[in-house]
Amino acid sequence: MKKFIPSILLVVAFGCAKKPETIHPQIQKITESVYASGVVKSHNQYQVFAAANGLLKVVFVTEGDLVKKGQPLMQLSNVTARLNIENARIAAAYNSMQANTDKLNQAKEDVALAKAKVDNDASLLERQKALWAEGIGSRVELDQRELALKNSTTAYNQAKTRYTDLQKQLDFAAKQSQTNLQITNAMVSDLTIKSEVDGKVFRVLKEKGEMVTVQTPVAILGDSSGYLLELQVDEYDITRVATGQTIWINMDSYKGKIFEAVVTKIDPIMNEQSKSFTIEAAFTNAPPTLYPNLTVEGNIVISVKENALLIPRNYLLNDKYVLLANKEKKEVQTGLKDYQQVEILSGLTVNDEIIKP
């Protein structure tokens, strides 16, 4: 049995069909840019690390303090390091040349005695030779004098060698002990954490009584007289970014305001975890008040065109087609793009009417 559909319902159904949205391309200015996000940093901002492990004994600064390069920030305590330096002092004193003067003097006397023995044996040999020439004495006595001189000469040379070796050993031990003392002194010096820059203490990350290790930062310092931007750019966009390009910056701290900056540095290596590159930028007109780690977003201007034929990006199909008012699908060539519009290089004119897909 055929269903009867009242004509009034058909009229309503067709009358409510949504009319496709249509527009004409417009001649306008377009700016192509690359998105970047990051934070504000002070000049020379860095995390302070200890050079040795220890218990935090004294904190000399508070957040907001101005410090000079080399100024102590914190003092650590390490009992082992203190004992090591005392041992090094004892060893240095024991092995010093001054403490071993008696050994050297004894060895020197041994050399002198051995030399006197050589001189005496040489004199006796000469006398025995003179007697032998006159037919006095025996050949055995002459041979004995020659052997005595050889033995005393050998003993003399050995005494000189022992003296020289002792000198070298004592000198080496003294220098080694002094070096060890300097090393332990340096280790104790490392227990005092000092500022590497003239600047401000932005944050103290440890409190008195906490354990400090060389892997954990204890403070954040920087130069509050100037600030820069540290931004992250996606690896797909980095090849279009260059130093000197303008960046339009917006910040949550200054809602509704735009600030200008310029790219000053591009780090040449990608962060493998975030798949992004770090760039630095300097404000050309900075906000009146800044603090480290304020978040920012920016658009890096790649190119600008004043009189471009533009359509909204959501009117583009598959990045290269548009629908004309007569439903014809037409291929176009695109140029610059921003987040809302795309430039049409060929395929459309301002007289064409296109439909939103």
Is 174 buried (19+), middle (13-18) or exposed (0-12) by CB count in 10 A? buried
User: Each residue of 242-295: pLDDT tens digit?
Assistant: 999 999 999 999 988 999 999 999 999 999 999 999 999 999 988 988 989 999
Residue with the bigger pLDDT between 179 and 40: it is: 40
Q: Over 70: is that where the pLDDT of 81 sits?
A: no
Q: How many DSSP H helices and E strands does the chain contain?
A: 4, 18
Mean pLDDT score of the chain, rounded to an integer?
Answer: 84
Q: Over 70: is that where the pLDDT of 195 sits?
A: yes
User: Each residue of 2-40: pLDDT tens digit?
Assistant: 444 444 434 444 445 566 788 888 898 888 889 999 999
Which DSSP string do the residues of 151-195 spell out, in sequence order? Answer: HHHHHHHHHHHHHHHHHHHHHHHHHHHHHHHHHHHHHHHTTEEE-
Residue 100, token pair as written in the block: 């071993």
pLDDT of residue 91: 67
Kindly indicate the confidence band of residue 97, based on its pLDDT and cuts at 50, 70 and 90.
low
Over range 349-354, report the average pLDDT.
Answer: 86
| Residues 208/56, Cβ–Cβ less than 8 Å | yes
Which CATH architecture group holds 17-44+223-357?
Answer: Beta Barrel (2.40)
| Residues 332/348, Cβ–Cβ less than 8 Å | yes
Residue 260, token pair as written in the block: 């200008």
Rounded Cα–Cα distance for residues 60 and 77 (Å): 14
Q: What is the CA radius of gyration of the chain?
A: 45
Eight-state DSSP code of residue 19: P
Q: CB-based contacts of 242: which residues, under 8 Å, 6+ apart?
A: 263, 266
The single-letter code of the amino acid at 32 is E
pLDDT of residue 336: 84
Q: CB-based contacts of 281: which residues, under 8 Å, 6+ apart?
A: 228, 229, 231, 247, 249, 261, 262, 263, 264, 298
**Among residues of the chain, what percentage have pLDDT more than 70?**
86
User: Each residue of 104-133: pLDDT tens digit?
Assistant: 788 888 888 988 888 998 888 888 888 878
Beta bridge partners of 67: 199
| Residues 160/112, Cβ–Cβ less than 8 Å | no
pLDDT of residue 38: 95
**Among residues of the chain, what percentage have pLDDT more than 90?**
33
